[in-house]
Amino acid sequence: MQPDQLISALASRRLVAIVRGRDPEAALDTVLTLVRSGIDLVEVSLSGTDALRVIAGARAVLGPDAPLGAGTVLTAEDARRAAEAGAAYAVTPAVTEAVAASRALGLPVLAGALTPTEVVAALREGATAVKLFPAGHGGVELLKALRSPFPDVPFVPVGGVDAEAARAHLAAGALAVGVGGPLVGRAADGDPAGLAERIAAFRALAGEAS
């Protein structure tokens, strides 16, 4: 995936589903369920159990063109292993060595930042877009404040983003939002109760914002 392709995917989907679980088989099933239900821009967090195996399994099923990414990429080694597993893009929680390492591997990066200084550092390291994290720390007012000095930066709020916050961030100019627990629930731990209903609700929300 090229950087412009990631930007296009974020702009058209408006939603990144974040999968992090303790049960690798359930996590893989969750990824596939999300994609088959119309939420196909998915990030598998490396902090989940056997996350690389989940990414590799999803890639094998979904094919080479699926916009499947790796999240919680912290180090250059994380970036290398994620790329080998089949990740098409990388997501970091902060500006770490993983940003430049991912770019060197050809992966576009959604790099975590919270302050103006961190936004500048993320862009300097080659970030394709800025993951505003944790978005719940400052709410939509933080996004509005950062967009004043950085009107052309594509922001993707993540962390503490439920349906109400997602709607507010998208209305305030976020390119997309990243959503984990409020969408996935405990499905990646083996309890898919309510997943279909949450998928339908977030698909509708993304559709409203498009």
Catalytic residues: 43, 131
Strand partners, 111: 92, 130
Do the Cβ atoms of 55 and 32 come closer than 8 Å? no
Separation CA 206–CA 158 (nearest Å):
15
Query: 15-19 and 155-157: which strand pairing?
Result: unpaired
Query: Alpha helix (H) ranges present in 96-184?
Result: 97-104, 116-124, 139-147, 163-171, 181-184
Q: What's the full length of the chain, in residues?
A: 210
Separation CA 44–CA 19 (nearest Å):
5
Question: Encoding tokens for residue 51?
Answer: 């996350």
**Coil, strand or helix at 74:** coil
Conformational region of residue 160, where left means phi above 0, alpha means psi within -120 to 50, and beta covers everything else: left
User: Is residue 37 packed enough to be buried (19+ CB in 10 Å), middle (13-18) or exposed (0-12)?
Assistant: middle
Which residue is it, tokens 């999240």? 71
